[in-house]
Amino acid sequence: MQQELNPKKYILVFLITLGVFAVIFLLSDFLYNRRITQVKGIEDTINRNILESEIQYALLADASCDTDETGNPVLVGEINNLTKRLAYMEEQRGTNDAEVISLKKYYSLLQAKDYLLVRERAKQCDDKPLSIIYFYSNAGNCDDCKKMGYVLTSMREDYDKLHVYAFDYNLGLSVVETLKSIYKLEDRFPVLIINRKAYYGFKTRAEIEAMIPELGRMTATSTKATTTPK
């Protein structure tokens, strides 16, 4: 049996405990910095992709409308990648974190670019773009926004030609502000823009499918799994 009172042991244990805290803190800091580096890498890729997409669009302008290039695969891949990481960052760091907001702005720009390309390509080919613009709010407790997120994510997964663009209503990005003023949006959430018309409140999958009859003619397919931020 050990001696009754052992101040040296108490101090040793205290120092080990501090050491454990310090090592875990450094490890967590290291891992977070690696993530930030990853995020910066994604942002750089986005910048390059936006440029690439403009070139791609210019090339597609000469292409026949029979080709199946109605979307922009480079951007879609990046959007999906970024969406997952953004959802994680939002959960971990909170919606007010500077890195999260910065990444969200890049995400919004990328989506806006994709939206424009899809729309232009559709106009060029006299086609109707299959897209949904979705505004959500992180302010307050918007359960309907979360539900809407699940529905849109599942639809994006099932219809590979459907483009879903999710924007944080309160992001303070000029592009988002412009979209808000174009569609004269009210502060009610969630809101969907389908065929240039705003729909407020939660909409079921069936309701959305009814709003976009083209989806009915399309066979639901499995593509890459993505998540839509709420």
Burial class (CB in 10 A: 0-12, 13-18, 19+), 182: exposed
Q: 82 and 38 in contact (C-beta within 8 Å)? A: no
Task: Express the helix, strand and coil content of the chain in percent, nearest 5 each.
Answer: 60, 10, 30
Write down the residue that tokens 């003023």 correspond to. 181
Pairing of strands 163-168, 131-136: parallel
Piece of the chain touching another protein by CB under 8 A; list 24-32, 66-74, 125-133, 184-192: 24-32
| Interface pattern 204-223 for another protein (x via CB under 8 A) | xx----------------x-
Residues 56-115 that bind another protein (CB under 8 A): 84-85, 88, 92
Closest approach of another protein to the CB of residue 32, in Å: 7
| Interface pattern 122-161 for another protein (x via CB under 8 A) | ---------------------x--xxx-xx--x--xx---
Give dist(CA 135, CA 80) in Å, integer: 17
Instruction: State the distance between the two ends of the chain, measured CA to CA, in whole angstroms.
Output: 58
Question: Which of 11, 36, 37, 38 is the binder for another protein (CB under 8 A)?
Answer: 38
Q: 68 and 121 in contact (C-beta within 8 Å)? A: no
Contacts with another protein: how many residues (CB under 8 A)?
41
Q: Quick one: 5 or 98, whose CB is closer to another protein?
A: 5
Residues binding another protein (CB under 8 A): 1-2, 4-6, 9-10, 12-14, 16-17, 20-21, 24-25, 27-29, 31-32, 35, 38, 84-85, 88, 92, 143, 146-148, 150-151, 154, 157-158, 202, 204-205, 222, 225
